[in-house]
Amino acid sequence: MALEIEAKVKVDALDSVADALRAVGARFVAERVQHDVHFQDAAGLLKKNRCGLRLRTETSDGKTVSILTFKGPRQGGAYKKREEIETPLGDAEAMTAILNRLGYYAAVTVSKTRQVWTLDGCEVCLDDVPPLGCFVEVEGPDEQTIRSVLVRLALADRPHISKGYASMMAALK
């Protein structure tokens, strides 16, 4: 089980951030199209316990993979920090059917285009999330390393967004 630690900031456009990443020697990994289905249960236990259950279908370089992710409640800290358990799936449709039979239902969907970069031990994601806009997520081993990457990209002074895309999307309804 992993601990996800990430900072998210809203930006006006992604091109200038990509330019900054190139300028500081970051490595481009891939561009991915992600379709996320966030599930809830009829009893509302996931929401009550501040947990998340997501089924992601991701396409990159003509290959599609599906990943089921559980996210635990947020922990304290300057950035969003929570337990994250992920497993790859062979059949996303079958997993959806299983979740439905267990009482889970699709509550929110989020589709985005994501550019993935690496810098100083962090994964830097440039996300275009219609209709929410453009965001930069920096995920790393600890808050100090994440802050250092934000400083290098001139993003440290921007407000940190603690809400996930699913919460932001649900608020639009």
Q: How many domains does the chain have?
A: 1
**Domain housing 93:** 2-172
Q: Which residues neighbour 98 within 8 Å (Cβ) at sequence distance 6 or greater?
A: none
Q: What is the pLDDT of residue 76?
A: 87
Quickly count: other Cβ atoms within 10 Å of residue 95's Cβ.
17
pLDDT computed for residue 1 by the predictor: 61
69-87 tens-digit pLDDT: 999 999 988 899 999 999 9
HSE toward the beta carbon, residue 88, CA cutoff 13 A = 4
Predicted model pTM? 0.94
pLDDT tens-digit map of 35-59: 999 999 999 999 999 999 999 999 9
pLDDT at 173: 76
Dihedrals phi, psi of 61, to nearest 5 degrees: 55, 40
Q: Domain with 108 in it: what CATH number?
A: 2.40.320.10
pLDDT by residue (tens digit) across 117-129? 999 999 999 999 9
Reported as a pLDDT band with limits 50, 70 and 90, residue 88 is very high
Q: Which residues on adjacent β-strands are paired with residue 133?
A: 129
H helices, E strands: number in the chain = 5, 8
Token readout for 95 is 């997993």
At 146-163, the pLDDT tens digits run 999 999 999 999 999 999
Q: What is the band of 20 on the pLDDT scale with cuts at 50, 70, 90? A: very high
